[in-house]
Amino acid sequence: MKAMLAGFAAMILIGLGAWLALGQMGFSVEEVSSGPNVRLE
Amino acid sequence: MRALLCFLTTVLLAAPILAAAQEAVPTETARPDRSATGGAQTLEDILARQRGERIDDSFRSEAIGGSAATVPALGPLGGASDPEIWRALRYNKADVTASAGGDVGKVLVQDGGMRWYRFRRGPLAVYGGYLLLGTIAALVLFYLLRGKVRLDEPTTGRTVTRFQAIERFAHWMMAGAFVLLGVTGLLVLFGRMFIAPYLGKEVNAGLLTGAKFIHNNVSWAFMIALVMIFVMWVWHNIPNRTDLTWFAQAGGIIGKRHPPARKFNGGQKIIFWSVILLGGSISVSGLSLLFPFALPLFAKTFAVLNDLGVPGWIGMEHLPTALAPQEEMQLAQTWHAIIAFLLMAIIIAHIYIGSIGMEGAFDAMNSGEVDEAWAHQHHSLWLDEYKTKQAGRPGGAAGPAE
């Protein structure tokens, strides 16, 4: 049971880490597919 | 293993067939007389298209004008009339220059999206849905007929370590990710059909936003676990002669005999290679979808298949290699979903046999410990090896693992 819970926890942590890291690296949809000259702020 | 290879070959050929079906020039039963419109499309052409019939539209796709030199009367327009320019854009034959957006920005009209959309909400959703429901129904029927695979002999009270903690960790990380990916993927595919009409579009939109977030980010855990599983278990999943015996006796699931097996039996090897190959394929197409237009897969793959002559094996001339970036994404999504449905069906069967289908099976992946009687019944060769190793260790004896 411990291994199962650890696996699930790792899955969540990896997912959150990937989300944060890719966002920081500029891979968000907003940054990849848009730019300041085409956005209405 | 040969059956597995045949199966996978069939699967791998499915996407090219689909792609080719999308691209194939239709055979026209009766060429309409277009003299009244000077060669332009007629009312019959439009009606046929609206009826969903395939028409040979080369009379339009090739009517894209010429250069100023060939059509001097249209000199100021560059040799092409407005309709001709629009047709060139429509058929992706215009010489477009875009200051931003790259190849994606150069595609101004792309009608493949409708084919993709129709396939997605039609055959993909219908056959995929029936595949999953059919698998569940077959398992329910099997359970009613066969019942749980029980231990033939009483438990000994002595346990052996079937899976180490790291193996169980990787298995459950993959399992958790796979279930989340499967559920969220099904929500994305079926939400508009089954959630929006009953719970409203707002609820569906909220669910899909969450589903997309989970699907995109949980995918990394799945891929990492896939690599861990492959590294740890590939050696144990090399097909060998004992698998033939196992298959000949249907793995002991049908009947009362229990064929010998090492750490993984023939059925488990099928599961393993399905997860590795289909999961790997889903991962690659998923990466292509995670980074849109950055990792196109199909044009190059089709070119390789064409060079190998693969389309000829099934009576096709060739697969399309000039794909718009959007078509690459459509094919990646189609492929991703088809393979995911196959893997989901296989994993549903795996979940069944690993839980309610077999007495004691869940313990192997829960605590990692299984009773010797269970190990002897289902993995007798592995148990012998295990005991030999234990006996060979200093002070070791074939006693309880804990």
pLDDT in tens, B181-216: 999 999 999 999 999 999 999 999 999 999 999 999
Q: Which candidate in B217, B287, B295 is best for mutational testing of the A interface (most A CBs within 10 A)?
A: B217
In CATH, what number is assigned to the domain containing residue B316? 1.20.950
What is the model's pLDDT at position B79? Answer: 76
Evaluate whether residue B206 is within a structural domain.
no
Q: Do B168 and A3 touch (CB under 8 A)?
A: yes
Task: Write down the mean pLDDT value for chain B.
Answer: 85
Q: Do A4 and B292 touch (CB under 8 A)?
A: no
pLDDT in tens, B92-112: 788 888 777 777 888 888 878
pLDDT in tens, B267-296: 999 999 999 999 999 999 999 999 988 899
What is the model's pLDDT at position B346? Answer: 96
Q: Which two tokens stand for residue B27?
A: 């055979």
Give yes or no: residues B239 and B98 share one domain: no
Query: Is the pLDDT reported for residue A34 higher than 80?
Result: no
What is the model's pLDDT at position B275? Answer: 96
Confidence category of residue B400, pLDDT binned at 50, 70, 90: very low
Give yes or no: residues B68 and B153 share one domain: no
Q: Do B170 and A7 touch (CB under 8 A)?
A: yes
Evaluate whether residue B371 is within a structural domain.
yes
Evaluate whether residue B219 is within a structural domain.
no
What is the model's pLDDT at position B70? Answer: 67
Nearest to B1 by CA among B311, B257, B342, B9: B9
What is the model's pLDDT at position B63? Answer: 84
Q: CA torsion, points B70, B75, B79, B82, in degrees to nearest 10?
A: -160
Q: Does B173 touch chain A (CB under 8 A)?
A: yes
Q: What is the least distance, in Å, from the CA of B168 to any CA of chain A?
A: 6
Q: In chain B, how many domains are there?
A: 2
What is the model's pLDDT at position B106? Answer: 82
Mean pLDDT to the nearest integer, B349-367: 89
What is the model's pLDDT at position B147? Answer: 85
What is the model's pLDDT at position B75? Answer: 62
What is the model's pLDDT at position A38? Answer: 65
Confidence category of residue B28, pLDDT binned at 50, 70, 90: very low
d(CA B87, CA B103): 19
Nearest to B192 by CA among B244, B120, B108, B288: B120
What is the model's pLDDT at position B72? Answer: 63
Give yes or no: residues B98 and B116 share one domain: no
Least confident of A11-20, B58-67, B364-373: B58-67
Nearest-5° Cα angle at B139, B249 to B219: 105
Give yes or no: residues B100 and B240 share one domain: no
Give yes or no: residues B247 and B342 share one domain: yes
Q: Which candidate in B167, B220, B287 is best for mutational testing of the A interface (most A CBs within 10 A)?
A: B220
Give yes or no: residues B89 and B54 share one domain: yes
Q: Which residue of B has its CA nearest to A27?
A: B291
Evaluate whether residue B203 is within a structural domain.
no
Give yes or no: residues B351 and B283 share one domain: yes
Evaluate whether residue B378 is within a structural domain.
yes
3-state secondary structure of B82: helix
DSSP B203-268: HHHHHHHHHHHHHHHHHHHHHHHHHHHHHHHTGGGS--HHHHHHHHTGGGTSSS-----SSS-HHH
Give yes or no: residues B137 and B78 share one domain: no
Provide, as residue numbers in chain B, all residues whose Cβ is less than 8 Å from the Cβ of A35: 100
Give yes or no: residues B271 and B325 share one domain: yes
Q: Which of B106, B130, B147 is the last residue of a domain?
A: B106
Evaluate whether residue B402 is within a structural domain.
no
Give yes or no: residues B131 and B59 share one domain: no
Query: Is the pLDDT reported for residue B26 higher than 50?
Result: no
d(CA B119, CA B375): 47
Q: How far is CA B90 from the centre of its chain?
A: 31
pTM of the model: 0.81
pLDDT in tens, B231-250: 999 999 999 888 888 888 88
Report which of residues B79 and B43 the model is more confident about: B43
d(CA B60, CA B63): 5
d(CA B227, CA B130): 31
Query: Is the pLDDT reported for residue B310 higher than 70?
Result: yes
What is the model's pLDDT at position B16? Answer: 40
- Whole-angstrom CA distances from B94 to B49, B289, B334 are 23, 27, 27
Per the CB < 8 A criterion, the answer to whether B121 and B193 are in contact is yes
Query: Is the pLDDT reported for residue B5 higher than 70?
Result: no
Report which of residues B66 and B182 the model is more confident about: B182
What is the model's pLDDT at position B297? Answer: 92
Provide, as residue numbers in chain A, all residues whose Cβ is less than 8 Å from the Cβ of B175: 7
d(CA B279, CA B213): 20
Query: Is the pLDDT reported for residue B228 higher than 50?
Result: yes
What is the model's pLDDT at position B71? Answer: 66
Q: Which of B68, B84, B106 is the last residue of a domain?
A: B106
Please identify which residue in the block is written with the tokens 């592995």: B382
Q: Do B221 and A14 touch (CB under 8 A)?
A: yes
d(CA B270, CA B237): 9
Q: Which of B58, B74, B106 is the last residue of a domain?
A: B106
Nearest to B375 by CA among B136, B138, B72, B160: B160
Q: Shortest CB distance from B176 goes to which of A7, A27, A35?
A: A7
The string over B94-114, giving b where at least 16 C-beta atoms fall within 10 Å of a residue's C-beta and e elsewhere, is: beeeeeeeeebebbeebebee
Give yes or no: residues B251 and B343 share one domain: yes
Nearest to B291 by CA among A36, A22, A24: A22
* Chain A positions touching chain B (beta carbons under 8 Å): 1-8, 10-11, 14-16, 18-19, 27, 32-33, 35
What is the model's pLDDT at position A39? Answer: 59
Q: What is the least distance, in Å, from the CA of B127 to any CA of chain A?
A: 30
Query: φ, ψ for residue B34 (rounded to 5)?
Result: -110, 20
Evaluate whether residue B358 is within a structural domain.
yes
Query: Is the pLDDT reported for residue B257 higher than 80?
Result: no
Please identify which residue in the block is written with the tokens 């499915």: B14
DSSP B9-76: HHHHHHHHHHHHHHHSPPPPSS----GGGTTS--HHHHHHHHTT----THHHHT-----TTTSGGGGG
Enclosing domain of residue B372: 2-20+112-163+234-392
Give yes or no: residues B118 and B254 share one domain: yes
Q: Which stretches within B92-200 are classed as H helix? A: 102-106, 112-119, 125-146, 165-190, 196-199
Evaluate whether residue B283 is within a structural domain.
yes
What is the model's pLDDT at position B396? Answer: 56
